[in-house]
Amino acid sequence: MTLQDSPSLEDFSDGILPPPDKPDKKRRTTIVIVGLLVLIILLLGISFIQSDAFSQIAGQGTISGYAVDESNQPIAVDIIIFGTNIRAISDESGYFEVENIPSGQQSIIIAFGEIATEEIVTVQVGQNTELGTVTVPTESEIDY
């Protein structure tokens, strides 16, 4: 504060002035620190949800396997966990891995286009249930 801006004795005739408000710089620093702490907690929460520990607490497991056609050639398929919103797609080599499946007996639908096969498996908490090689029909055999 410069000498010209300093209060005069007349300014104190009604008593001492209340202390000035917190400077803006301290307020901004506090807001930034609180914001960073919230961001760190949020990122730690997301990291935990994606971890194996969360899968075990939530009672979830994984399934994996390979999809082949009738001639034992790998094919790309859709994998659907019946009764859930969980879906996945295999790669070109037919390999698939689906995570975060509720534990217990599950119906796994493995589809090639409009043709599918069903595998009933028991998903174990925190473990990978290997389906091995699953043969998926690629041609419909409908008798009229």
d(CA 117, CA 108): 8
The ranges assigned to domains in the chain are 18-49, 60-135
Map residue 140 onto helix, strand or coil.
coil
CATH fold of 60-135: Immunoglobulin-like (2.60.40)
Token pair belonging to 34: 């609180």
d(CA 105, CA 118): 13
Q: Determine the Cα angle at 118 with ends 114 and 124, to 5°.
A: 135
**% of the chain at pLDDT higher than 90:** 47
Mean pLDDT of the chain: 84
Is the model's pTM score more than 0.75?
no
pLDDT band at 27 (very low <50, low <70, confident <90, very high): confident
Bigger pLDDT: 51 vs 130: 130
pLDDT at 144: 54
Instruction: Provide DSSP, 34-78.
Output: HHHHHHHHHHHHHHHHTSHHHHHHHTEEEEEEEEE-TTS-B---E
**% of the chain at pLDDT higher than 70:** 83
Token pair belonging to 66: 């390979």
86-102 mean pLDDT:
92
45-70 pLDDT, tens digit per residue, is: 888 777 666 656 667 889 999 999 98
pLDDT at 34: 94
